[in-house]
Amino acid sequence: MASKNDILKFIEQNDVKFVRLQFTDILGRLKNIAITERQVERALEEGIIFDASAIAGFSEVESSDMLLLPDINTFTIIPWRPQHGKVARFICDIKNYDGTQFIGDPRYVLKKSVEKAEKLGYTFNVGPECEFFLFHTDSEGRPTAKTHDYASYCDLAPMDLGENCRREICMVLEEMGFEIEALHHENAAGQHEIDFKYSDVLTAADRIMTFRMVVKTIAQRNGLHATFMPKPIFNAFGSGMHINMSLSKEGKNLFNAGNGSMDISDVAKMFGAGILNHINGITAVANPLVNSYKRFVPGFEAPVHIAWSHMNRSPLLRVPAPKGEATRLELRSPDSSCNPYLTLALVLEAGLDGLQKEMQIPLPVDINTYSLTAEKEKELGIQRLPSNLLLAIEEMKKDPYIKEVLGEHIYSKYIAAKEAEWAAYNNYVHQWEIDNYLTAF
């Protein structure tokens, strides 16, 4: 862990000229304000004032001045910026002008949940798998929805045209302190995945935001457009953000059943039960866009049903082949358009709720759930995930724990924003309607 003085010295000795103060709005978009190196000392001591009234879900015009307070652990050079007069960044916490905590800061929501876990002696470890598409840009540099290659899962060049861009993304991420575990072409044409090593949940959420910024920027520098939109192409695989997770105490993985067992521990089962119990209400946050729900269709490795399984890749919650200390649960519904701070806070607290109430996990569903008929679903008592944003918002309102975790401020602003988004979509006349109704009626 660096100290303020270490950072100030580093800035002076390494010709850092600008420092970006980054934060995330409630809708999960990265924002920043740049300051010059002369302001950094003041920023670290008092914070930097910014006008929060224009940031989605933050504040009203009457109380718009807020403070950005850099988290010194997040300091890093931005590698693609000039080497003379370098640019660095901090991820910031947000305070009210009087220095008190601003309750609308998503990072604060996650920090609160982490504190709750820490009081119980738990560390929540998270390894996300972020999928994305690379698309062509047009002659004016604007994004298109044309994929830049026709390759599929784990294909190589020359089929895989994203190789160079993906490699450059990984090099930059490593320079920024990421430990990359794997990178590969994904199922759909133009679709990719880069996995980085798991970490404590706050670090993981910060890294997800950094990852999105790096992927988009490096793609642009390669003349491509990167998107984390969940389902950009109808009838092709969508992009998810699987969340691999485990809970540890005193360095020991509590999900490990021990003795070389192929099962997961009771702690893992109760934690998983908590997630299954609250997933309906979490979904509007983990899958925030109208488009997110177009991913929840059978046949594309995205979940449709609320079920868990060993190995099987159709259910919501999967247990990857348990291997001692690497034992983990994988939540397969979230996508990369979500706010990672809010999503991970909800997932963590759902798991803790399961532990506290000693919830029983239902029987695993080790069949391909895509083939379930409505009758079979009923017989097995298997529910479906909400199938559109409106239904997900309704589920969010039904589960009081969601509001408890997010706090009244974020909860109400979030719902208002998503209801407006649904209404805008719902009132629009789509191409599908023209194609199907214009001549038929």
Known binding residues for ATP are 181, 196-198, 313
Beta-carbon count within 10 A of 425 CB: 15
Answer for which of 330, 353, 395, 399 binds ligand ADP (CB under 6 A) is 330
Report residue 401 as tokens. 């724990």
DSSP 239-263: --EEEEEEEEETTEETTB--TT-SS
Coil, strand, or helix at residue 202?
helix
Q: Are strands 65-77 and 48-51 parallel, antiparallel or unpaired?
A: antiparallel
What are the residues whose beta carbons fall under 8 Å from the beta carbon of 296, sequence distance 6 or more? 287, 302, 303, 304, 333, 385, 387
Chain positions contacting Mg ion, by CB under 5 A: 129, 193, 242
Q: How far apart are CA 387 and CA 284, in angstroms?
A: 11
In the bound state with ligand ADP, the residue whose beta carbon lies nearer, of 318 and 413, is: 318
Q: Which residue lies nearest Mg ion, judged by its C-beta?
A: 242
Q: Which does 197 bind (CB under 5 to 8 A by kind): ligand ADP, Mg ion, none?
A: ligand ADP
Q: Which does 253 bind (CB under 5 to 8 A by kind): ligand ADP, Mg ion, none?
A: ligand ADP
Q: Which does 413 bind (CB under 5 to 8 A by kind): Mg ion, ligand ADP, none?
A: none
Is 125 near ligand ADP (CB under 6 A)?
A: yes
Is 358 near ligand ADP (CB under 6 A)?
A: no
CB 202 within 8 A of CB 110: yes
Q: Which residue lies nearest ligand ADP, judged by its C-beta?
A: 127
Binding residues for L-glutamate: 295, 301, 313, 332
In the bound state with Mg ion, the residue whose beta carbon lies nearer, of 75 and 132, is: 132
Burial of 260 (0-12, 13-18, 19+ CB in 10 A): exposed
Is 59 near ligand ADP (CB under 6 A)?
A: no
Binding residues for Mg(2+): 129, 131, 186, 193, 242, 330
Q: How far apart are CA 42 and CA 115, in angstroms?
A: 28
Binding residues: 129, 131, 181, 186, 193, 196-198, 242, 295, 301, 313, 330, 332
Interaction site with ligand ADP (CB under 6 A):
125-127, 129, 181-182, 195, 197-198, 242, 244-246, 253, 320, 326, 328, 330
